[in-house]
Amino acid sequence: MDERDAAIKEKLEGVKDTSLEIKQLEEQAEAVMRAARAEISAALNKMKKETTAELEAKLQEGRQKVEIELQDALASLEKQKEETIKALDSQIAALSEEIVKKDNLLTGSAEELRHHHQSSIVIDELSRIQTVVAPSSPLQWGRWLS
């Protein structure tokens, strides 16, 4: 029985030693897992920063392109505006000249009408005077001519 007790004790001590060894292995495994998690977290953060920087650069590049296109469009609109104003100015000048010509024609026509009207009045007046003064019979003609 002593032998048996000694064998059991030995086995128990061997089991105790292995449980201590298992405990140490578990602690090492946990430390490795923590280190791996930290390493993965650091790698993910690094990738996130790189991706963010890359996206920011592309976004900035896109903004610059849009800004350049906007400036070009504004310059084009300004040029079109100036050309339109020039075209309108020339059309306004042509219309002004045409209005002045028509006004001169109307003014000239009005003066001609007044002159014609005055001439008509004079002719009517002369006709009236002639009828009043002119002799109606040959005898009166003789007196009138003398």
The residue range of the domain holding 78 is 2-133
- Average pLDDT estimate for 95-100: 84
* Residue 145 within a domain: no
Please, what is the average pLDDT of the chain? 79
In the prediction, which pLDDT does 53 show?
96
How many independent structural domains does the chain possess? 1
Residue 8 lies in a domain: yes
Residue 96 scores a pLDDT above 80: yes
Instruction: Please tell me which residue, 79 or 18, carries the higher pLDDT value.
Output: 79
Handedness of CA 61, 62, 67, 68 (dihedral sign): positive
Distance (Å, rounded) from C-alpha 69 to C-alpha 73? 6
CA angle 87, 90, 92 (to 5 degrees): 105
Whether the full predicted model's pTM is greater than 0.75, yes or no, is no
pLDDT in tens, 57-74: 999 999 999 999 999 999
Per the domain annotation, does 123 fall within a domain? yes
Is residue 138 one of the residues assigned to a domain?
Answer: no
Residue 144 pLDDT level (bands cut at 50, 70, 90): low
Predicted local confidence at residue 24, as pLDDT: 87
